[in-house]
Amino acid sequence: MCSVAAVDFMRVVKNSVTVEELFEDGDGYKLWDADLWQCPDCGAQVITGFAREPLAEHWQPTYHVQRDRLAPIYPGRCRAAKSN
Ligand SMILES: [Zn+2]
């Protein structure tokens, strides 16, 4: 993982990725707009820069439509966006 110093070298890989915050059982809870960053040295990815308000919440009738439209979705239960 990145040291604190390495964080300074992280770069934005992609602006405006969609993160799905999940319930404990894995069901969708909220969709968030955020930025994907990556360390050029070790490839570790983090998502930060979350919007103040979610794009959608699970109780909204359009939730699943938005989820499909905004794919790919990064699951929000773990700190890293991807392990590879
Ligand atoms: Zn790193």
Lowest mean pLDDT among 6-10, 24-28, 66-70: 6-10
pLDDT digits (tens, 9 = 90+) for 24-62: 888 899 999 999 999 888 888 889 999 999 999 999 999
How many angstroms is it from 16 CA to the middle of ligand 1? 21
Please give the distance, rounded to the nearest whole angstrom, from the Cα atom of residue 7 to the centre of ligand 1: 7
CA angle 10, 15, 73 (to 5 degrees): 105
Give the helix ranges, DSSP H, for 1-84: 4-7, 63-69
Look at the block and give the residue holding tokens 């992609």. 14
Which pLDDT score is estimated for 80?
38
Task: Return the amino acid letter for 13.
Answer: V
CA of residue 39 to ligand 1 center, whole Å: 5
| Whether the Cβ atoms of residue 66 and residue 31 lie closer than 8 Å to each other | yes
pTM more than 0.85: no
HSE of 20, CA atoms in CB hemisphere, 13 A: 20
The domain limits of the chain are 4-75
- Gap from CA of 28 to ligand 1 centroid (Å): 30
